[in-house]
Chain A
């Protein structure tokens, strides 16, 4: 490590690494240098001039955001001259800024408010006419109120640099400069809302949240997004048992500042009018609403009856339910129902990867990667996935890695992808040609100091083993991410929602089996054909599967329950209950109530998430993760190697749904926002 540089800020001796910007050095020393346009990780703008400080020997005030630290530098941040400069910048800013704080969404968490409060200029000398421009709607989720805009260009930069979309620009000049979509009057982009999130004032507002509440009237619940497998933390603003907004307020969690449209807005399926509010039982061929006790009794009696005559059960689990629920479900199936016919919609060959990596040791042994590795490692190889659409956070990480660390990206896909823009090599392949294409990159990959390989469902079964062999032959440390589709696809595999190696039926066989007595579907929509076995469904909505069920239990969504989920990289994080679910119950509770009614509760143990997770930590390899990390809202990676998975590969069963930014299986169909944006219209 290079020698640290010594400098003095406000009389305090400070050390900083060479190249550190003065504003960061001050921040790390606990000295606040105010700024609007400076945003860690984005290119410098030096536009707001709020960070002007006095540097000895400099002829005038200098911007701390553009000044790298230098040996012997003497800096003062609180002199009368600096204070006057800050005040005058605020006065300039406020000259055309409307005084509509009382109705502005940002009021209470506005950086301009805070700065004015702290640095003065509360009273204006401006008596001229303000520049006014009417508010514009750029998309169902993005509104722009130009007069409030202070032109810090954060939105332009995050869209261009952070998202790689570049949907925003600046039009006009001087005092009538205006942020504008490059499409002219509307946005055609990821609709991620990053521009809104990063806006220091109330210029960019969310179509979902605007004029609904004030920030201080909400409770903020940090939980995990339930859509894709990336496992982004989303902070839900809750008022009166209603989710008002989603964002990433404190920039904690594995995703930091990042959220996509799903994480930010697509929680809205939770109060869709078609949510199931009461259990339904088929009476005379028609599903009728009944009480919970009646429904539980009906199913328990059926289960006990079939169990008593050693009938045949089939169980299909979910990619969305918690680890606790998945664990409890498979335990229920194996221990109580005595069946190994259990499966879920498999979206990536995680078992093959775990198997290929198990038993390896030594420095160069392949390992699993965590999300942070995609930001930190020197090179990334993406195989067979359009990350920007399917795994938006992973794509964001790699992009940031390129911007900040000049990481080298390699892409092997069928179609052009966003990573092509900066990738050192992009190879287009037809399906099946991925491994050959990877082989063609061998020499270049060999020259890398380290590599993370991200692969989609194009690589499965034997191909995974060959890929790991390839990685091993490079002679450099290689880490892997096996892409899966949904929020707990990975957990479903780890918890054992897979058929028993000896004679267990897999998903298509369960659906095709003619001799099944009971089919129990928890949080999935496999659409079984016609009238077959006694069908029990637990779901949020009356899905195609639920419509043909004999009993339907209304299940709670991920925002209405506690538990843990495991993301695509094997990182375990906690779900926290944000709101209550009227009429519905968490799947875990439904299973618990069934067990109690069946008289088998003692065998399965309490249906309390924390208790079940304690059991998971003991029984599931790799899940002995530190609890404090989870409790603090952090992500704990399951042990790098989950160990050998005794499983007949069945790679033909692995099929990713390739959900994009605007689809999310059943949940996506019930999200108003996802269906409202112009970009999703092609999905219909």
Chain B
């Protein structure tokens, strides 16, 4: 994937090496403060590392936004079992394409982040679980790992610190569900990728029933900067309760789509108008998905004064999610958008539990029929009803992820459903294709 031109409003921390020549090579990495954070962390006590992570206010970048330092502190360091570091590189959320760039352009940053996590919880082995569709990335990451071994940044007694660490890549088989942490672990162990009953959480019983730190690629990639410059410096980049920067994948109807590293709390309007270069063809904004297709959709009015951070999004009854922003302009058919989203979830539902398995399939068929002009008025309520029946009742969050955008679209764009009634052809332009999958 081609990396887009950077924008002046960006704050380049995790992406600062993007655009450098041979940015993925260890030489470039070492020439730009690479592995210094590891050397520093090796001299710190594990509690200090975790404390820095806590101070940084880094919240999980995979979508749930759980404080990363807190998560690391849950791992029982004294457990006699081996501990594992697992990287969730199963980036599959529609609209999200940031982890691939982090791995493609700066894989050593990820490796260093993993090493820091290893130091923090006394783990000596790690797995990078890369989604099956990212096959080409495995080569890049494997090459980086080989480089790190060759230069003594992985393996036994790393850089004379006495710390051992083995790192492996593991490829998924193409299931969105395996981005859910417990399903990822099942898949990593060679089983069918279905979620586990929790508790126990991975911090206590994760990979191979051992304590496991499991974070998103971006979360690990933030660790070197946090340790190198201090948690406080990282926290200061963002807003209270949410530190640092967030890689935002700006997609949809904007003139300059791309991945931009923005401070947390960045205004949505500025992001669309300035960073994204405004809406395509000078059209008006209709709807906005802030963090991947799992989030409730926001209207143009709701975007007024909204900022890109966890709490503001929660207040607007949506989520910051994974940073997969989808901008939809006035010609977008929201029924089609709902259908496109539901097609994805029906395709990706693992099938384990009833409401998600049957609900997504039913909604997909229903929305398809509705968009084709064969809907009835009662179907509109049924769509919302079925989504609500799924919400909060499924085994894992995949069901919620399918239900939330559907509910929000039915509620906020009810009239667009009405416009499809009575066999009328869809009065809007094709737009579903802009929701990438």
Which residues from B are CB-within-8-Å of A176?
A: 351
Determine the distance from Cα of A643 to Cα of B137 in the docked complex, in whole angstroms.
Answer: 75
Q: Would you give the 0/1 interface string for A210-228, flagging 1 where the beta carbon is closer than 8 Å to chain B?
A: 0000000000000000000
Determine the distance from Cα of A219 to Cα of B366 in the docked complex, in whole angstroms.
Answer: 46
A66 within 8 A of B: yes
B355 within 8 A of A: yes
A254 within 8 A of B: no
With A66-B197, A173-B350, A174-B349 in contact, do A92 and B365 touch (Cβ < 8 Å)?
Answer: no
Report yes or no: B197 in contact with A175, Cβ–Cβ below 8 A.
no
With A49-B353, A151-B351 in contact, do A131 and B361 touch (Cβ < 8 Å)?
Answer: yes
Which residues from A are CB-within-8-Å of B361?
A: 95-96, 131, 174-175
Report yes or no: B362 in contact with A61, Cβ–Cβ below 8 A.
no
With A52-B393, A66-B197, A91-B389 in contact, do A173 and B358 touch (Cβ < 8 Å)?
Answer: no
A89 within 8 A of B: yes
Which residues from A are CB-within-8-Å of B394?
A: 49
Determine the distance from Cα of A52 to Cα of B394 in the docked complex, in whole angstroms.
Answer: 10
A85 within 8 A of B: yes
B354 within 8 A of A: yes
A125 within 8 A of B: yes
Which residues from B are CB-within-8-Å of A49?
A: 353-355, 393-395
Q: Can you identify 9 A-B contacts, CB atoms within 8 angstroms?
A: A60-B393, A88-B389, A93-B354, A96-B358, A129-B365, A174-B346, A174-B357, A174-B360, A175-B346
Partner pick for B357 among A52, A61, A128, A177, CB 8 A cutoff: A177
- In chain B, what residue has the closest Cβ to A128? B365
- In chain A, what residue has the closest Cβ to B350? A173
Q: Which of A52, A61, A85, A128 has the most CB of B within 10 A?
A: A128
Determine the distance from Cα of A124 to Cα of B309 in the docked complex, in whole angstroms.
Answer: 42
Within the complex, the shortest CB–CB distance from A325 to chain B, in Å, comes to: 53
Q: Would you give the 0/1 interface string for B336-364, flagging 1 where the beta carbon is closer than 8 Å to chain A?
A: 00000000001111111111011111100
The 8 closest A-B pairs by CB, nearest first: A177-B351, A175-B361, A88-B389, A92-B358, A128-B365, A174-B349, A60-B392, A174-B351
A46 within 8 A of B: yes
Within the complex, the shortest CB–CB distance from A528 to chain B, in Å, comes to: 58
Determine the distance from Cα of A658 to Cα of B295 in the docked complex, in whole angstroms.
Answer: 63
With A49-B393, A128-B362, A128-B365 in contact, do A170 and B354 touch (Cβ < 8 Å)?
Answer: no
Which residues from B are CB-within-8-Å of A170?
A: 192, 351
With A96-B361, A173-B175 in contact, do A46 and B353 touch (Cβ < 8 Å)?
Answer: yes
Report yes or no: A89 in contact with B355, Cβ–Cβ below 8 A.
yes
Which residues from B are CB-within-8-Å of A66?
A: 197
Q: Among residues 232 to 266 in chain B, which have CB atoms less than 8 Å away from a CB atom of chain A?
A: none
Report yes or no: A95 in contact with B358, Cβ–Cβ below 8 A.
yes
A interface list, Cβ under 8 A from B: 44-50, 52, 60-61, 66, 84-85, 88-89, 91-93, 95-96, 125-126, 128-129, 131, 150-151, 169-170, 172-177
Report yes or no: A93 in contact with B197, Cβ–Cβ below 8 A.
no
Report yes or no: A93 in contact with B393, Cβ–Cβ below 8 A.
no
- In chain B, what residue has the closest Cβ to A178? B351
Q: Would you give the 0/1 interface string for B362-391, flagging 1 where the beta carbon is closer than 8 Å to chain A?
A: 100110010000000000001000000100
- In chain B, what residue has the closest Cβ to A97? B358
Report yes or no: B353 in contact with A175, Cβ–Cβ below 8 A.
no
Which residues from B are CB-within-8-Å of A44?
A: 197
Determine the distance from Cα of A150 to Cα of B358 in the docked complex, in whole angstroms.
Answer: 10
Determine the distance from Cα of A96 to Cα of B361 in the docked complex, in whole angstroms.
Answer: 10
- In chain A, what residue has the closest Cβ to B352? A47
B interface list, Cβ under 8 A from A: 175, 177, 192, 197, 346-355, 357-362, 365-366, 369, 382, 389, 392-395
**Contact residues of B: prevailing secondary structure:** helix
Within the complex, the shortest CB–CB distance from A563 to chain B, in Å, comes to: 48
Partner pick for A88 among B350, B355, B360, B365, CB 8 A cutoff: B355
Which residues from A are CB-within-8-Å of B365?
A: 128-129
Which residues from B are CB-within-8-Å of A126?
A: 362
Determine the distance from Cα of A131 to Cα of B192 in the docked complex, in whole angstroms.
Answer: 23
Report yes or no: B354 in contact with A89, Cβ–Cβ below 8 A.
yes
Within the complex, the shortest CB–CB distance from B372 to chain A, in Å, comes to: 12
Q: Which of B360, B369, B395 has the most CB of A within 10 A?
A: B395
- 17 A-B pairs besides A91-B389, A92-B355, A93-B354 with CB distance below 8 A are A44-B197, A45-B352, A47-B352, A48-B353, A49-B354, A50-B354, A61-B392, A95-B361, A96-B358, A96-B361, A125-B382, A128-B365, A129-B365, A151-B352, A151-B354, A173-B177, A174-B349
Within the complex, the shortest CB–CB distance from A98 to chain B, in Å, comes to: 14
Within the complex, the shortest CB–CB distance from B202 to chain A, in Å, comes to: 17
Which residues from A are CB-within-8-Å of B393?
A: 49, 52, 60-61, 85, 88-89
Which residues from A are CB-within-8-Å of B350?
A: 173-174, 177
Report yes or no: B389 in contact with A175, Cβ–Cβ below 8 A.
no
Determine the distance from Cα of A48 to Cα of B356 in the docked complex, in whole angstroms.
Answer: 10
With A46-B197, A174-B361, A175-B361 in contact, do A128 and B369 touch (Cβ < 8 Å)?
Answer: yes
Which residues from B are CB-within-8-Å of A150?
A: 354
- In chain B, what residue has the closest Cβ to A153? B352
Which residues from B are CB-within-8-Å of A46?
A: 197, 353, 395
Determine the distance from Cα of A565 to Cα of B168 in the docked complex, in whole angstroms.
Answer: 61
Report yes or no: B192 in contact with A151, Cβ–Cβ below 8 A.
no
Report yes or no: A173 in contact with B362, Cβ–Cβ below 8 A.
no
Which residues from B are CB-within-8-Å of A45?
A: 352
Report yes or no: B358 in contact with A128, Cβ–Cβ below 8 A.
no
Within the complex, the shortest CB–CB distance from B199 to chain A, in Å, comes to: 9
Which residues from A are CB-within-8-Å of B346?
A: 174-175
Within the complex, the shortest CB–CB distance from A81 to chain B, in Å, comes to: 10
- In chain B, what residue has the closest Cβ to A172? B351
Q: Which of A91, A170, A173 has the most CB of B within 10 A?
A: A173
Within the complex, the shortest CB–CB distance from B395 to chain A, in Å, comes to: 6
Determine the distance from Cα of A177 to Cα of B350 in the docked complex, in whole angstroms.
Answer: 8
Which residues from A are CB-within-8-Å of B359?
A: 92
Which residues from B are CB-within-8-Å of A131?
A: 361
